Amino acid sequence: MKIIDHKIAEAETIVVRKSTNSFCATLKALARQADFERERPVGDQETRERLITTANSYFETLQQNNGPFMAQFDPSCNRIENGVQTTNNLQRPDKTGLGIMKMGCIEQFKSGYFRYVTRIRDRRVPRWSIR
């Protein structure tokens, strides 16, 4: 998750399963990205508690998707699921009839499209240090 000015700018979830559908991540999509490798100066880092709160606010907004926003989104936010950009993606075929793939994060959530997500299970935050 990328946070800019205390707002979610990017969120990525990767779950790799054996599949032939269009959401099956490619090795290229799973490659390490420079943005995630850069270390932020200590003074620019959010606290662990703030990061957990931000991540949970995103999942609570997704899980409820009934109007209220528990998360704050940067207007240029993109969602990437299993290596596929699912927002602001003009090339991606959209079978929903809503143009959901062409929308940004805020538009998608305001549409109520994710109201079928009623429970996000097994949410947990690993305790590890990369230092």
Tens of pLDDT along 39-59?
888 888 888 888 889 988 998
Residue 58 CB: number of other CB atoms within 10 A? 24
Q: Let me know: does 118 contact 63? Beta carbons within 8 Å.
A: yes
Could you read off the pLDDT of 54-92 as tens digits, one per residue? 988 998 888 878 877 888 888 888 888 867 788 998 888
Prediction pTM value: 0.66
Query: Where does residue 16 rank: exposed (0-12), middle (13-18), buried (19+ CB within 10 A)?
Result: exposed
17: which residues sit within 8 A by CB, 6+ positions away? 24
